[in-house]
Amino acid sequence: MNITMIGTGYVGLVSGACFSEMGSRVTCVDVDEKKIENLKKGILPIYEPGLEAMVGQNYREGLLGFSTSLAHAMKSSSIYFIAVGTPPGEDGSADLSYVLGVAAEIGKNLESYAVIVDKSTVPVGTADKVRATVQRELDLRGVEVGFDVVSNPEFLKEGAALNDFMKPDRIIVGADTARARKEMKRLYAPFSRNRDKIIFMSVRDAEMTKYAANSMLATKISFMNEVANICEHLGVDVENVRKGIGSDSRIGYCFIYPGCGYGGSCFPKDVKALIRTSTEMGFDPRLLTAVEERNQLQKQRLFQKIVSRFGNDLSGLSFAVWGLAFKPGTDDMREASSIVLITELVKAGAIVRAYDPVAKNEARREFPPHWFEEKRLVLVEQPYDALDGASAMILVTEWKMFRQPDFNEMKERMAERVIFDGRNQYDPEEARESGFDYFGIGR
């Protein structure tokens, strides 16, 4: 099948690459000329394991192309995926200007029946707005062309996105006509060979399913972080509690790891957007509001522990930070806990030496340039280089390379032997027996 994928961000590029991997011809469209030229050269705007190789191979084989012209790409396809950004506004609402801008452009160039697919995460009712926008442009042209608007939310985990797309647990399709359902079933047939993974529902049901899924996972995380804080006050090790409740099949082990807060492009944005949507409808979403509040507070926990140990004035002290990305397997630092921590440390007068295997370039864009110029924040090339002269090592992102640290080398490099474990990766007894003061989350 021939597909036009509008947007070459995380969702659009992964989706386009995976569809082409299964034999569809995909043209990825973006208004950013430099990004398109880089993609043609094999330079990707994001880091995702395996994506560079998949993009390169399918581009060379002619199954995956890149263009800045939506009108040209539309001529050779009848399925148009909208996968542009929906950044949150100050009030938490999703900004639909990019989505509706694409819809208008489709309406200006639509010549024959097509399926328009909302792949971006959008509030309930967005498909209605897309449909109205396309129809308005058709009316202005004075033409009658049939089309369907479908909701097909993505459920990709950064760091495992290719596997999630190629071997999905489920494929949610919100479609209101038999013709649209038939087209989508044909499109996703290669991904459902073992069993039928497509779950058809109404468009609005599909839009809500995406928000409900991410909000549920965020709720589990915030709940466990709440329990961890209670455990600290009671002298209880939350890790034993986690294992105890996770063994219950009704609860399970997924997303019940306490830590220093969740981040990324999905959970924070989607929880806030659902809160905003609910409020606009006159409903007070108390549970979701508590989930969001707990997460914001949790991002302060590491700094609070540091202040309790070293005092409010951190002038003259150096701290090693291991991990900058919001999670392992990605360079994404959106809403990352490391941003909150490092900002507080620098404001308190500390020097921060940080390491992350893939997120250093993102960090340079995230923090003020003068911090780097003044050496308030130093990004090092090797993890142990961050430890030189450090008063403490702070684990923020649980990359695999950090799981078995060399405590002897740490002791040789560090000025003081203190570990703040923001992801509960280390055995407290082992760390203390090695001569370190250990501070975890809920233990």
Tokens 């449909």 belong to 131
Could you write out the DSSP letters of every residue in 343-397?
Answer: HHHHHTT-EEEEE-SS-HHHHHHHS-HHHHHTTSEEE-SSGGGGGTT-SEEEE-S
Q: Which of 18, 28, 260, 266 is catalytic?
A: 266
Question: Computed from CA positions of residues 162, 167, 168, 173, in that sequence, does the dihedral angle turn out positive or negative?
Answer: positive
| DSSP-derived pairing of the beta strands 351-355 and 198-201 | unpaired
Contacts of 115 by beta carbon, 8 Å cutoff, 6+ apart = 78, 79, 80, 147, 148, 150, 180, 183, 184
Question: Any bridge partners for residue 148, and if so which?
Answer: 115
Could you write out the DSSP letters of every residue in 285-316?
Answer: -HHHHHHHHHHHHHTTHHHHHHHHHH-S--TT
Tokens 């399970």 belong to 252
Alpha carbon distances (Å) from 401 to 70, 258, 329, 359: 43, 20, 12, 15
Burial of 428 per CB tally in 10 Å (0-12, 13-18, 19+)? middle
Number of CB atoms found within 10 A of residue 368's CB: 12
Burial of 295 per CB tally in 10 Å (0-12, 13-18, 19+)? buried
Give the DSSP letter of residue 94. Answer: B
Residue 134, both tokens: 């396309």
Q: Does the annotation mark 28 as catalytic?
A: no
Q: Angle at Cα 265 formed by Cα 262 and Cα 266, nearest 5°?
A: 75
Tell me how far apart the alpha carbons of residues 114 and 80 are, in angstroms, rounded to a whole number. 7
- Please provide the distance, in angstroms rounded to a whole number, between the alpha carbons at the two ends of the chain: 54
**Which residues are part of the catalytic machinery?**
266
